[in-house]
């Protein structure tokens, strides 16, 4: 009995099983990255909405307290600048934390494109739910 074909079949079986496992793992990792990305963007949007609401209350309170208009305007400009910087750095940090293999999968590069992407995700989810 020749053992060489048997041994080669065994080795090829191991290689095929490993290759299949690696492909499945990569596919699952890709799906996980996309899901984490969506969830992070949804959290960013939720936090941004809350901060914007809190800022509006802050400025209304400042107006109600009859603070000087220039103080309110300076505070508003500073808050808007800091908020814009936070939004863009949050998206950049999310993008930079992608695994190298999936960096090209990101469909956004700043806050506005991230929110456009999130809008498309919401629309796609609505379309998918209506089909069911």
Tell me the per-residue pLDDT of 20-64, one tens digit each, with 9 for 90 and over.
999 999 899 889 988 998 999 999 999 999 999 999 999 999 999
| pTM (predicted TM-score) | 0.77
Determine the Cα–Cα distance for residues 90 and 110; give it in Å rounded to an integer: 9
Helix (H), strand (E) at residue 28 = helix 4-64
In this prediction, residue 62 carries a pLDDT of: 95
Tell me the domain boundaries of the chain: 34-131
Tell me the per-residue pLDDT of 65-108, one tens digit each, with 9 for 90 and over.
999 999 999 999 999 999 999 999 999 999 888 888 877 888 88
In this prediction, residue 74 carries a pLDDT of: 96
Determine the Cα–Cα distance for residues 79 and 56; give it in Å rounded to an integer: 11
In this prediction, residue 23 carries a pLDDT of: 95
């Amino acid at each position: 009995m020749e053992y060489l074909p048997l041994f080669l079949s065994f080795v090829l079986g191991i290689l095929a099983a490993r290759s299949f496992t690696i492909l499945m793992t990569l596919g699952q990792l890709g799906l996980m990255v996309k899901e984490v990305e969506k969830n992070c963007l949804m959290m960013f949007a939720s936090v941004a909405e809350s901060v914007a609401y809190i800022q509006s209350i802050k400025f209304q309170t400042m107006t109600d307290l009859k603070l000087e208009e220039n103080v309110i305007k300076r505070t508003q400009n500073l808050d808007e600048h800091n908020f814009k910087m936070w939004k863009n750095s949050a998206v950049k940090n999310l993008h930079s934390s992608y695994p190298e293999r999936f960096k090209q999968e990101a469909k956004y590069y700043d806050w506005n494109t991230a929110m456009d992407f999130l809008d498309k995700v919401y629309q796609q989810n609505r379309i998918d739910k209506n089909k069911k």
